[in-house]
Amino acid sequence: MTARIPHFIDGRQHPGTSGRQGDVYDPATGDVTGRVDYATAAEVHAAVKTAQAALPGWAGTPPVQRARVMFRYKALIETHLDDLAALLTAEHGKVFSDAKGEMLRGLEVVEFACGIPHLLKGEFSENVGTNIDSFSMRQPVGVVACITPFNFPAMVPLWMFPMAIACGNTVIVKPSEKDPSVTNRLAELALEAGLPKGVLNVVHGDKVAVDALLTDPGVGAISFVGSTAVGEYIYQTGCAHGKRVQALCGAKNHMLVMPDADIDKAADALMGAGYGAAGERCMAISVAVAVGDQVGDRLIEALEPRVRALKVGPGMDPDSEMGPLITAQHRDKVKGYVDLGVDEGADLVVDGRDLHLQGYENGFFLGGCLFDRVQPHMRIYKEEIFGPVLSVVRAPDFKSAVDLVNGHEYGNGTSIFTQNGDAARSFAHNCNIGMVGVNVPIPVPMAFHTFGGWKRSAFGDHGMYGMDAVRFYTKQKTVTARWPTGIAAGAEFTMPVMR
């Protein structure tokens, strides 16, 4: 019997009334394990009204009290960490150790949100004019909608709603309909931590729910992580309806391997960065740029046996290094890209398309795939595959490699492996990319910095978490004050000038 996955509104489970539901699978077996309710536009608008009703009380709660809720929330997530990771693995498919890592990276943002009293401090200037002072304050935006992807069903929501809530907003999360359960559980734990009812709500669904959030006048801001096509639509639609929008989108992340790099260390880094979570990461390294043919030959020689030995299996098997893809449709899409790469003339060094696991024949598995001599005009180079497919491109020199990175339409993350400090510094300063790693394969910043890409990897002026989150989830107000003893008699008709 499959479980029903309802909405979570006003502090309780809220079964949907639309009659529409979506299947939730165990990607390792292919079995349907749940049915998630899809919200109608009317249900979304009702959830927005619930969040609006909770807003004045929560916005008026002192930041130090909001921080105490976040401290309790952090402790509850730590207590339930293994259960949350197992729930995540059951619906997404990533291996359990990776799921725990996802939970911990999300928890870092909760820890950062605990410092909200300090983060919300404004500025004060005494005597900007005679007997006149100016000061600034940061106040909540209002109701925030968080639209999150399937690949990080816990971490990305935790990137968003703890900071939005700590800043005094109320929130509606619309998680991916493919793996929704862990978001519901996170909302339940927030309530247990002392968050008032209605401050954090979860609605499930498809484009109907998204469009309702984008157009509802009660929503003040939208946070989104997902594909570029959807992100651009959300940015344009949300802005057209007067909302503040941040949309973090697709990627095609490159790793430069320089002639002086330790090839074994670079290959190990590429294995984790390219095949971890079955490549379903916006920060996955999907292109290795070998600087020089000799480096390309050595890199392929090191990668090929590692990719062939990759341990693919169900996420809860402690021996598994890579789990299944999220759905059969997505697995077939990734397979189609491998077919396309062969047709385009790339050299398929390792072919994982025919992987079959005994006992898991109906799971959504795909083995690791490795291409060599991929060319920039090929679609497998241009487009985000979002699967366990690593492409090696050969560049004749450092400048050509940097130009290759900068010429791609995406600018999310990149990395360089080298022992040369000049090359590393030049790359970090001259690449047109939002996040850069030096001998670090996946340069995801810590919670007290900011995550965000450039070019078509992001729309909007603010990144995720760090101080950008405080700026995005608040509006700055500046007060200029003069008290009666400093006010001269008579009306003043000239432009005010501070003297």
Q: What pLDDT tens digit does each residue of the chain (499 aa) get?
A: 689 999 999 999 999 999 999 999 999 999 999 999 999 999 999 999 999 999 999 999 999 999 999 999 999 999 999 999 999 999 999 999 999 999 999 999 999 999 999 999 999 999 999 889 999 999 999 999 999 999 999 999 999 999 999 999 999 999 999 999 999 999 999 999 999 999 999 999 999 999 999 999 999 999 999 999 999 999 999 999 999 999 999 999 999 999 999 999 999 999 999 999 999 999 999 999 999 999 999 999 999 999 999 999 999 999 999 999 999 999 999 999 999 999 999 999 999 999 999 999 999 999 999 999 999 999 999 999 999 999 999 999 999 999 999 999 999 999 999 999 999 999 999 999 999 999 999 999 999 999 999 999 999 999 999 999 999 999 999 999 998 776 777 777 777 776 6
Cα 44 to Cα 181, 194, 218, distances in angstroms: 18, 24, 11
pLDDT at 499: 63
Among candidate residues 114, 282, 369, 431, the one labeled active-site is: 282
Range 253-438: architecture per CATH: 3-Layer(aba) Sandwich (3.40)
* Alpha carbons 375 and 111: distance in angstroms, whole number: 43
* Alpha carbons 272 and 285: distance in angstroms, whole number: 9
pLDDT at 498: 64
Amino acid letter, 423: A
pLDDT at 486: 65
Where in the chain are the domains? 3-249+457-479, 253-438
- For tokens 């339940």, the residue is 188
Q: How far apart are the first and last CA of the chain?
A: 76
Residues 6+ apart with CB under 8 A from 272: 441, 442
146 noted as active-site residue: no
Evaluate whether the domain defined by 3-249+457-479 bears CATH number 3.40.605.10: yes
Q: How many residues does the chain have?
A: 499
* Alpha carbons 291 and 427: distance in angstroms, whole number: 13
pLDDT at 491: 75
Residues 6+ apart with CB under 8 A from 464: 159, 160, 223, 225, 246, 248, 450, 451, 452
* Alpha carbons 261 and 420: distance in angstroms, whole number: 9
